[in-house]
Amino acid sequence: MAVEAEGAKVIAAGTNVDEKRLQTAKSLGLDYTINVQTEELKKLVDELTDGYGVDVVLECSGSEAGIRSGLEMIKKRGWFCQIGLTGKPITFDIETICYKELHYSGSMASRYLNWEKGIRLIQQGLVKLEPLASHHFPLKEWEKAFQMFREKQGLKLILRVPQE
């Protein structure tokens, strides 16, 4: 993936519902994939970082538990980026951000430079997109695709517009 192409070691964490995503991540060569419901994430992070915590958290789930876990795993002065939206107000200990002196930000979009870099990584074969698109639907089946999305089925669901 993109961060590995930049030289980072990656831990992809998920729950039972993410098992297919974790398997895909592992098949794409991510360094570590772990089901957080096994209680092994903290142990793995401690082993890999000598107890200091990870440098960067990209929290993509938007779940309150995921955010709390990310804040627990990150090292002092680490970088935490909230990507997944919660869809509702949540509760977490903001003092963790202060005590750990974290750089905490959100992300909703990217700049053209990010797109250019992403395209270069794909062209160089460092990022593979095909395995991420698990289902393709004709546009007229959008309701089925949205239902699968709501049920957290598949990875990326592609809607195809008919060619004229």
Instruction: With a cut of 90, say whether residue 142 has pLDDT above it.
Output: yes
- C-alpha–C-alpha distance, residues 54 and 50, integer Å: 10
Q: What is the pTM of this model?
A: 0.79
- C-alpha–C-alpha distance, residues 10 and 28, integer Å: 12
For 30-79, give the secondary structure using H, E and C: CCEEEEHHHCCHHHHHHHHHCCCCEEEEEECCCCHHHHHHHHHHEEEEEE
Instruction: With a cut of 80, say whether residue 35 has pLDDT above it.
Output: yes
Contact 22, 1 (CB under 8 A): no
String of b and e for 75-98 (b: at least 16 CB within 10 Å)?
beebebebeeeeeeeeeeeeeeee
144-82-94-14 Cα dihedral, nearest 10 degrees: 60
Task: Please give the pLDDT value at position 53.
Answer: 95
**What Rg, from alpha-carbon coordinates, does the chain have?**
17
Dihedral pair phi/psi, residue 40, rounded to 5° = -95, -10
Give per-residue pLDDT as tens, 87-134. 899 988 899 999 999 999 998 777 888 889 889 989 998 888 888 899
Q: Which residues pair with 79 in a beta bridge?
A: 56, 103
Q: Bigger pLDDT: 109 or 36?
A: 36
Domains of the chain and any CATH numbers = 2-127 (3.40.50.720), 129-164 (no CATH)
